[in-house]
Copies of this chain bind each other. A is one copy, B any other.
């Protein structure tokens, strides 16, 4: 997608010493994005020397970031041969969506009980923004807000472990969703489902929300099925 660019190591832009302490987090996010956005397609070997030079970072922090991502499941470590970007089969994706569905149903049930009105209002705000982006035809922003909404619902559950697991799966799936270009009618259906979701959440209708979230992901599978 993009070219591989050096890391911005001085976020404030000013002179003076570089921010050393944030390099690890920055590197992890950067690599994660590069994988999600397709700069590093599945199967690519992560060449420490080369990649490090392109990013303007030495091998040590790069290796640490790669190990971190390996534990997240985005890359695979092969002894003596470095790391490669993990490749997901269609079954893998379906399996992940199955688990995600189960987690979101749980999150929906919990959220209806424990979420604050303010929290629900925030999700509503995200949703309205997303609909605006949809109407404007801005796919990228729509996609990002979509993810944010699902993440927000997971967090509304008040269950940190649940939000964690959800985030891990969501990250692994991001790349798939990123490339999944759905047609206009399917896109419209997805937006309609989201509207149902928010309504159920505002009504704190546990069963309804759980059901819609489940249905939403079943359809999500149909939408990406052919892209995998």
- B165 A169 Cβ-Cβ under 8 A: yes
- A99 B24 Cβ-Cβ under 8 A: no
What copy number does this chain have within its complex?
2
- B161 A96 Cβ-Cβ under 8 A: yes
Distance of A155 from chain B, by nearest CB (Å): 12
- A99 B162 Cβ-Cβ under 8 A: yes
Closest-by-CB residue of B relative to A162 is B99
Q: Determine if A21 is an interface residue (Cβ-Cβ < 8 Å).
A: yes
What CA separation (Å) do A92 and B164 show in the bound complex?
Answer: 12
Task: Given A21-B80, A79-B22, decide whether A99 and B161 contact each other with a Cβ distance below 8 A.
Answer: yes
Q: Which residues of B contact A227 (CB under 8 A)?
A: none
What CA separation (Å) do A110 and B71 show in the bound complex?
Answer: 26
What CA separation (Å) do A183 and B37 show in the bound complex?
Answer: 53
- B63 A160 Cβ-Cβ under 8 A: no
Distance of A200 from chain B, by nearest CB (Å): 19
What CA separation (Å) do A177 and B73 show in the bound complex?
Answer: 26
Distance of A93 from chain B, by nearest CB (Å): 9
What CA separation (Å) do A172 and B159 show in the bound complex?
Answer: 15
Q: Which residues of B contact A71 (CB under 8 A)?
A: 67-72
Q: Determine if A102 is an interface residue (Cβ-Cβ < 8 Å).
A: yes
Annotate A120-131 by CB proximity to B: 1 below 8 A, 0 otherwise: 000000000000
What CA separation (Å) do A161 and B98 show in the bound complex?
Answer: 9
Q: Which residues of B contact A102 (CB under 8 A)?
A: 102-103, 106
Distance of A100 from chain B, by nearest CB (Å): 8
Q: Of B21, B103, B172, which is within 8 A of A79 by CB?
A: B21
19 pairs of residues in contact across A and B, judged by CB atoms under 8 Å: A21-B80, A24-B79, A60-B60, A63-B64, A64-B64, A65-B67, A68-B68, A69-B71, A71-B71, A98-B106, A98-B162, A99-B103, A99-B159, A99-B165, A102-B103, A102-B106, A161-B169, A161-B172, A165-B169
